[in-house]
Amino acid sequence: MFNTWDDLRFWKSGEWQKIEEDLDDWDRKGIQYNPQRTQIFRALDLTPYTQTKVCIIGQDPYPNARHATGVAFSIPKDCLDYPPTLQNIFHEYSDIHGDLKYPYPKTGCLETWCSSGVLLWNACPILPHWEELTYLTMEIVEKLEENKILIVSLGAVARSFCDEVTNHLSFSHPSPLGWARGIKPFKGNRFFSTVNDYLCSMNEEPIDWKLP
């Protein structure tokens, strides 16, 4: 029975072994990648499979090393320069014309959501991209679908992993280029409330989106 992310087939696959060898080589050569190695799978550590109520899939980590944390869209607590994508998320979170109208968060760290059962995952969890990591995301989506866990894709890259998913909501990516575009733009479409409405329709507890 599948009970933990450690049970994913990917960890024993040749694909993961190849990536580890490449990372070892990059570490020796001092080549930078985002996030740092110990943080690549932090999202899985913070939101165990058995506690996951909803998975939000983004595209890839922030390109700036100081922003990337291994948790999609989240930045370190002590980082005061919010990336534009996170600013757009907080626009919907806090703006008078947004969805929740909460006070603007004092930190860009979203780990509070993780502890509430939100898996914040990037389709490719490392920059630069490793093609082999698409198999990991495919397997994560497969296991979430088996347990009928809601998956929310943000942007075309994330949506491409969810074509066969029944419990699926889709919005545009909240980046400046995408957040107001598409059939279901992130901007103005009550992202947070829509997720909670869907969870309630499945007789699941809604997410407490309130941040510190």
**DSSP helix/strand/coil, 150:** strand
How many degrees, rounded to 5, is the angle at CA 198 between CA 133 and CA 40? 20
How many degrees, rounded to 5, is the angle at CA 110 between CA 187 and CA 64? 80
Residue corresponding to tokens 């995301």: 137
Residue corresponding to tokens 């499979």: 49
Tell me the residue type at 126: I
Q: In 10 A of CB 117, how many CB atoms?
A: 20
Quote the CA–CA distance of 4 and 9 in Å, as a whole number: 11
Provide the annotated active-site residues. 60
Answer left, alpha or beta for residue 73, where phi above 0 means left and psi between -120 and 50 means alpha: left
The sign of the dihedral angle between the CA atoms of 8, 12, 18, 20 is: positive
CB 91 within 8 A of CB 24: no
